[in-house]
Structure 1
Amino acid sequence: MAEKQPTIKEIAKRLNISISTVSRALHNHPSIGLKTKTLVQQLAQKLDYEPNQMAISLQQRKTFTLGVILPGLSESFFSSAISGIEEVANMNGYTVLMGQSHDDIEREKQLMETMKKHRVDGLIISITKNTKTFEHFEFFKKANIPVVFFDRIPDMNDINYVACNILSGTIKAISYLLKARHRVIGMINGPKTLVATAERRDGYMQAMQKNRLKFDPSLVFNCDLSKESVYEATQKLLSHSRKPTAIVTFNDYVAMDAMHYATQQNICVNKDLLFVSYVNLPMLPHLKFRPIASVEQYPFKQGQKAAQMLVELLQNKIENTERQMHYKIIIDSDLVIHA
C-alpha cells in the first residue's frame, strides 16, 4: 500500500496550530512570526510535504499554466524564443503548454481551443503567416484571459505585444548598402498579411528618402516564405530592367534560398550580388554562402519580455474587470556585419 502523503492538516495537528496558520507560514505570509514560520517549514521538510497543486489551483482559480503557440520549432528563431519564455515561466512558478501551428491557420485555431480546454491562465502567441482574421482570439478577451503577441503581430487594436524594431533595422540595412555605393537594391519581402512585411517596406522607403534617392516599388517582391516563391521572386529581380547589385531578404532562410538560386544562375554570391537579411541565425558563421549582414531580432529576449509581460498582467489582473490598458515593448534591432 502506498504511503500516505503528509497534509497541512497533519502539520497543524503536530504543532497544535490552525490549518490557516500553517498555510500562511508555508507561503511566507508576513502576518506569521519567524519562530512559527520556521517550525512549520522545518516540519514540512522533515515530512517531505508537497503542496496539493490541484487544491491550490481551485482555491486561487489558476492552473499556473501559460499557453504558447508558435509557427514551428524547426526555426531556431522560435526555439530560442521558447527558451526565453520557459526561463521566465519557471522562475515564476508556471508550466508552459506549447503547440506548433506550422503556419496553418486552422491548426492555430485548434490550438486555441486546446488552450481553452486546458484553462491556461494566459497565452503567448506568434501568429501564422496566413492569419487574416482574428475572431478566434475573442474568447480570451471576453474571458479576461490575457494574451501577449510577439514577433508576428496581428494588425489589431488594443493588444499586448513584444516586437523588434524592424523599421529601424531596415533603415540600418539599406543605409549600409547605400554607403557601400549600391544604388539598385532589391527586396524579397514576406507575406502581406504580416505587419513586419509592411515595416520592412517602410524602412526601405525611409532609408532611400533619407539619402535623397527615389524609391522604386518594382524592386520589391513579396513571397510566402516557401522555396518556390523565393526562387520566383529572385528570378524576377535578376531579370529586372534595373538589375540589383544587392538584395535584402525577409529573413535568413529566405536569403539562403535566394542565394542558392543565384548560384544556379552562375552568379557569384556576395561579389556580383550582395545579400542582407534579418534574424541572424546561429548557423550563419558555418555556412559557405551567407548574407554579408543580418538584422539581429533578439528572439530569446523577445520571448523573455513576452513572458514577463504576461506574468505581470496575470499578477495585476482584477477578476470580472476588463483591462483598459494594453502594453507594448519594442526591442531595438542591430545590424550585424558578417563580411
Structure 2
Amino acid sequence: MKNAPPTLKEIAKRLKLSTSTVSRALKDHPSIGLVTTMRVKKLAEELNYEPNNRAIFFKQQKTFTIGVVLPNLSESFFSTAISAIENKATEEDYTVILGQSLDDENRQSRILETLRKHRVDGIILSVAKNTSNFDFIDSLRKSNIPIVFFDCVPDREDVIRIVSDLKPGMMEAIDTFVSCGHNRIALINGPQTLLASRERLEGYKQGLEKNDIPVNEDYIFVSDLSEEDNKRVMAELIALPERPSAVICFSDYVALDTMKVAKEKGLSINQDVSFISFSNFPIWNHIENKPMASIEQFAGRQAQKAADILFDLINERETSGEKLISYPSQLIHLDTL
C-alpha cells in the first residue's frame, strides 16, 4: 500500500539493522551507540514515522488515559480541580478524558460506561448530586479499573475518598456571625442524600450548641441547588415571621441566587441580612456586594491528592492504604479582599 505508514521493520531494513535495535535507538537506550541512534532518528523523521500506539498499549496492557467525571466543568471549583489533575497526568505522560455529568445520574452512568469500554487506566469522579446507584463501582472493579472519589463522594467505606472536612469551616462561620451579634442564623443546605449536606448540618448544629444557641428547625432549609429552588427557599426564609439575620449557604452559587432575592426584596446585604457561603468563589474579588466570608474547601489540594493516589494504583506503587483522606475547610473573610 503506497500510503501505508512507515514501520520499524521498514526503518530497520533500510538501515540494515534489527527491529529491536531500531526500537531501542528511538528510545535513546544507552546500549545503542550515538551514531546509530542519530541515523535511526534521522530516517524516522524523513519517513514521518510514528509509534504504533495500539501495539504499545496492547503490549503494556495500558491505554495511558484516565477518565475524569465532574458535575460541571464551568464551576470554578472544578476548573481548579481539573487543572491539578491534568498537571499530574502530564507528569505521568497520560491523557485526560473529561466528562461532565451536569448532576444527572443517568448521564454520569453513560459516561462511566463509555470510559470503561474504552479501557481507561483509571477514573477520578466527583459524583452527581442525585446519585443513588453505585453499581458502577463493582463494574469498574471487575474491569480492573481503579476509581478515586473526591469532593462529592459516596457514603461508603470500601472506596477511596478525598474530601474537605466541612465542620471546621462551618463552626468558624457560626462563631463569626455570633461575634457580630447574630443569633438568628439560618442554613440553606443541599439535598439530604448528599454526604456533604449531612456534614454541613452536623457542623451547623454543633456550632450553634457551642455558642449556646438553640437549634430552630424553621431556620434549616433544603434546596435542590438549582437557581429556581435557591430563590424559592430564600423567599420562604425572608417571609418568616421572625426573619433570620444571618444565612449560611451550601455554596457560593447558592449565595449568588439568594442574595439576588434579598436585594429584590429591598434588603441590604450584610446589613439587613448577612451571608457566608462555601467554596471561596474567586470572582468575589470583583463583586461589590459579596458575602461576609466564604469557606475554602481546597479544590486543587483534593484533586491533586486524588490524582496522586490514582496513579500510584495504576502504576502499582505502594500507597498508604487510607480509604478516607480529609482536608479541614477554612473560613476566608471576604471583606479583607
Q: Quick check: TM above 0.5? A: yes
The 3-state SS of whatever aligns with 2:248 is: strand
CA contact (8 A) 2:68 2:125 kept: yes
Structure 2 counterparts to residues 63-74 of structure 1, below 5 A: 63-74=63-74
Partner of residue 8, structure 2? 7
Q: Deviations over 1:91-137 (max 9, x none)?
A: 11111111111111111111111111211111111111110121122
Q: Sort the Cα spacing of 1:165 and 1:26 in 2 relative to 1 into closer, same or farther, 3 A.
A: farther
1:62 and 1:216, CA in 2 relative to 1: closer, same or farther beyond 3 A? Answer: same
C-alpha change, 1:155 and 1:18, in structure 2 (3 Å) is same
2:292–2:333 contact (8 Å) kept in structure 1? yes
1:12, 1:22 within 8 Å by CA — same for their partners in 2?
no
Aligned-residue offset at 1:62: 0.8
CA drift at 1:243: 2.2
Matched residue, 1:210:
210
Change (3 A) 1:164 1:132: same
TM-score relative to the length of structure 2 = 0.88
* C-alpha distance in structure 1 between counterparts of 2:80 and 2:292, whole Å: 22
Alpha-carbon contact 1:158-1:326 (below 8 Å) kept:
no
Structure 1 residues 229 and 6, CA gap change in structure 2 (3 angstroms): same
Q: Does 1:199 align with 2:196?
A: no
Structure 1 Cα separation of the partners of residues 202 and 33 of structure 2: 59
Query: What amino acid maps onto 2:325 in structure 1?
Result: I
Which whole-Å CA distance do the structure 1 matches of 2:271 and 2:302 have between them?
34
- Give the superposition deviation at 1:286: 1.5
- SS in structure 2 opposite 1:283? helix
**Per-residue deviation, 1:187:** 0.6
Question: Secondary structure of the equivalent of 1:187?
Answer: strand
Identity %: 38
Q: Which residue of 1 aligns with 2:164?
A: 164
CA distance in structure 2 between the aligned counterparts of 1:81 and 1:241, rounded to whole angstroms: 42
Letter in 2 for 1:335: L
Q: Is the 8 A contact 2:189 2:197 kept in 1?
A: yes
Unaligned ranges ≥5, structure 2: none
Instruction: Determine the structure 1 residue equivalent to 2:244.
Output: 244
> Equivalents in 1 of 2:36, 2:304: separation in Å?
35
The one-character-per-residue Cα deviations of 1:111-168 (angstroms, maximum 9, x if unpaired) are 1111112111111111111101211222102222100111111112211122122122
What is the aligned-residue RMSD (CA, Å)? 2.6
Gaps of 5+ in 1: none
Distance 1:116 1:293, change over 3 A: same
Q: Which letter maps to 2:329?
A: S
SS of match in other structure, 1:336? strand
Runs of 4+ in 1 over 6 A off after TM superposition: none
2:334 alignment counterpart = 338
Q: How many residues align?
A: 330
Q: How much does 1:186 deviate?
A: 0.4
- Return the letter of the residue paired with 2:327: I
Q: What CA deviation, in whole Å up to 9, does each residue of 1:5-64 have, x standing for no partner?
A: 352784598485671x66566657xxx6x4637556544543335432211100011111
